Amino acid sequence: MALDNFIPEIWSARLLDHLDKKLVFKDLVNTDYEGDIKGAGSTVKINQIGEVTISDYTKNSDLGDPETLTGAQQVLNIDQAKSFNFQVDDIDKAQTTPKLMDEAMKRAAYGIGDVIDMWIAGFHSSAGIKLDNSGSGYTVGSGSNEKNAYDLLVEVGAEMDAKNVPDVDRWAVIPPWFHAALLKTDEYKQAWQDYMRTGTIPVVAGMAIKRSNNLKTSSTTYYVLAGTKGAISYAGQVATIEPYRMEKRFADAVKGLYVYGAKVVQPNCFVRVSAIKGT
């Protein structure tokens, strides 16, 4: 690979494209402020208007003085940074297809994406709605005294309704074993068959169902997560990608830096359910 033909902007676009394909949680959060970040250590200030007072109106009477609007501000810190640095020896490059470097970039992108996915999943402690069955967790399965998986997700939807969570862009992320329990319910089977036939994401109680192996666990308890895109704000960018020729080797190398940050900005739009695998 001739270094004078290396175009960093094109490689940067490729990296971001791969990340978007590999991340589960990044597709479920909002990225409204992604264009505002400048690099590691940057902060993005998020403003929100406070409540407006509603008063009774009396005919032929003057209104009171206008109130001063209040607001709240949250700060999204771009405080996470991940890097990669790999080389391709000239002999390896000569003996393999020209796509070797591109495949290595894909693996680097997947590695960063997996780290970010697990990191966002770890925000479960900031959920504003926690369903934990009085601290013991819900045993999910089809046995006696076990919770039906479909019914539990319906209860999650009801909790979001009670908090006035918008219906739009609701989602739930479940571990594979929970999905297996869900497939045993008649209510879900049709949605799954439609997915297998048309690719339409299954929906339960208004929530698009996603599966992930990156959900955090506490002992034998898994955290099923649900929410809307407004719950978590995420911003990330490729800070730099640099090709270089290794001084003491016949090899090309590439190093890259990706910076990002995320914050739970609407806790009441974020739900954590403590679930234990049953029978």
| pLDDT tens by residue, 18-51 | 666 567 898 899 988 877 776 666 888 888 787 8
Percent of the chain exceeding pLDDT 90 equals: 51
Would you place residue 8 in the very low, low, confident or very high pLDDT band (cuts 50, 70, 90)? Answer: low
List the Cα angle 13/32/212 in 5-degree steps. Answer: 70
Measure the CA–CA gap between 230 and 266, rounded to whole angstroms.
Answer: 6
Domain(s) labelled CATH 3.30.2320 in the chain stretch across 128-230+268-277
DSSP state, residue 78 = -
pLDDT score at 96: 62
Architecture of the CATH domain 128-230+268-277:
2-Layer Sandwich (3.30)
What confidence score (pLDDT) does residue 104 get? 83
CATH 3.30.2400 residue ranges of the chain are 3-46+75-123+232-262
**What pTM was computed for the model?**
0.82
Tokens found for residue 107: 């693996």
Residue with tokens 């918008």: 166
According to DSSP, the residues that pair with 204 across neighbouring strands are 207
pLDDT tens sequence across 140-189: 998 888 999 999 999 999 999 999 999 999 999 999 999 999 999 999 99
Alpha-carbon span 185 to 118, nearest angstrom = 29
The type of residue at 74 is: Q
**pLDDT tens per residue, range 43-95:** 888 887 878 888 888 898 988 888 887 878 888 899 999 999 998 888 777 66
In this prediction, residues 244-256 reach a mean pLDDT of 91
d(CA 226, CA 28) in angstroms, rounded, equals 10
CA angle 117, 76, 237 (to 5 degrees): 55
Whether the Cβ atoms of residue 138 and residue 178 lie closer than 8 Å to each other: no
3-46+75-123+232-262 architecture in CATH?
2-Layer Sandwich (3.30)
Percentage of the chain modeled with pLDDT above 70 = 88
Other beta carbons less than 10 A from residue 57's beta carbon: 7
Write the CB contacts of 76 (distance below 8 Å, at least 6 apart in sequence): 33, 43, 44, 45, 46, 233, 235, 261, 262, 263, 265
* pLDDT score recorded for residue 10: 62
